[in-house]
């Protein structure tokens, strides 16, 4: 009798799983480049729990704005700022009431070299590096934050000849990681894991040196009839996701 009961429970679980996966759908998400590593974990967990596929594309928020206004069929935008989703909302390209802040990012000055970046960022005032990488401030919020930081510190004019720009924060991180630039302003999420800097040396930039990096999510008009898109946005607000996000150095 006991074995029959256990078998019944197992069968019910299998049938529930099969039903869920049998109705699996897909959601298309445009993801800010700084959030790519975090998104990989989130998408995998969402698929594991629901069976739904998450098709996501990382890139610069400014580029996504241009693509969306030109009809790119994304369901959701996970922006690197709060301005772009608000602008899209004002232009009638989003579902009203769907916008919310999913993460607050942190800017970090990072080098893969140990003891190269000091804990207060004084390395920026020295002459022991040739290139400093930042994201393109015209399209990347983390790039704008880097420029604001250097302006506040009074070093922007001096450093301008040394600045190399990545199209987005992912390319900026690559410049530094490969040694093409000795250091650079990147997202903390790119160099932190489980609350610790993975390698090299870093200065986490105080938030009073730049505009807060509030990152908003929004449901786009092209995704308003996709129930998987709505389910994914709800999932982003769960404690499970908040824990994943915090592990990469974001607050929410």
What tokens were used for 9? Answer: 């429970």
Q: Do domains 2-104+213-247 and 107-204 have the same CATH topology?
A: yes
Rounded-to-integer distance, Cα 75 and Cα 6, Å? 42
pLDDT tens digits in sequence order for the chain, 252 residues long: 544 444 444 434 433 444 444 467 999 999 998 999 999 999 999 999 999 999 999 998 999 999 999 999 999 999 999 999 999 999 999 999 999 999 999 999 999 999 999 999 999 999 999 999 999 998 888 999 999 999 999 999 999 999 999 998 999 999 999 999 999 999 999 998 877 899 999 999 999 999 999 999 999 999 999 999 999 999 999 999 999 999 888 987
pTM for this predicted structure: 0.79
Domain borders along the chain are 2-104+213-247, 107-204
- What superfamily in CATH does domain 2-104+213-247 come from? Periplasmic binding protein-like II (3.40.190.10)
Residue in the structure block whose two tokens are 């699996």:
24
Distance from the Cα of residue 213 to its chain's centroid: 11
Residues whose CB is less than 8 angstroms from the CB of residue 179 and which lie 6 or more positions away in sequence, other chains included:
112
Rounded-to-integer distance, Cα 25 and Cα 39, Å? 18
Rounded-to-integer distance, Cα 172 and Cα 25, Å? 34
Percent of the chain surpassing pLDDT 90: 83
Architecture in CATH for domain 107-204: 3-Layer(aba) Sandwich (3.40)
pLDDT digits (tens, 9 = 90+) for 52-110: 999 999 998 999 999 999 999 999 999 999 999 999 999 999 999 999 999 999 999 99
């Amino acid at each position: 009798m006991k074995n029959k009961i256990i078998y019944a429970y197992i069968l019910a679980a299998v049938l529930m799983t099969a039903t869920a996966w049998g109705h699996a759908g897909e959601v298309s998400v445009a993801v800010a480049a700084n959030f790519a590593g975090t998104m990989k974990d989130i998408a995998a967990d969402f698929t594991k729990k629901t069976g739904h596929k998450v098709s996501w594309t990382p890139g610069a928020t400014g580029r996504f704005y241009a693509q969306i206004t030109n009809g790119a069929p994304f369901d959701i935008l996970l922006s690197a700022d709060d301005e772009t989703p608000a602008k899209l909302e004002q232009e009638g390209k989003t579902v009203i009431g769907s916008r919310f802040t999913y993460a607050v990012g942190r800017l970090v000055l990072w080098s893969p070299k140990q003891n190269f970046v000091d804990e207060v960022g004084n390395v920026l005032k020295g002459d022991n590096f040739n290139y400093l990488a930042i994201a393109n401030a015209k399209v990347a919020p983390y790039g704008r934050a880097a420029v604001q930081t250097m302006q506040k510190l009074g070093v922007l004019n001096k450093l301008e000849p040394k600045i190399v720009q990545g199209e987005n924060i992912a390319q900026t991180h690559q410049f530094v990681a490969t040694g093409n630039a000795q250091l650079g302003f990147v997202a903390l999420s790119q160099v932190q894991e489980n609350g610790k800097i993975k390698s090299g040396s870093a200065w986490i930039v105080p938030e009073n040196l730049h505009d807060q990096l509030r990152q908003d999510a929004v449901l786009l008009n092209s995704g308003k009839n996709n129930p998987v898109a709505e389910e994914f946005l709800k999932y982003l607000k769960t404690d499970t996701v908040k824990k994943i996000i915090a592990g990469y150095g974001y607050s929410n």
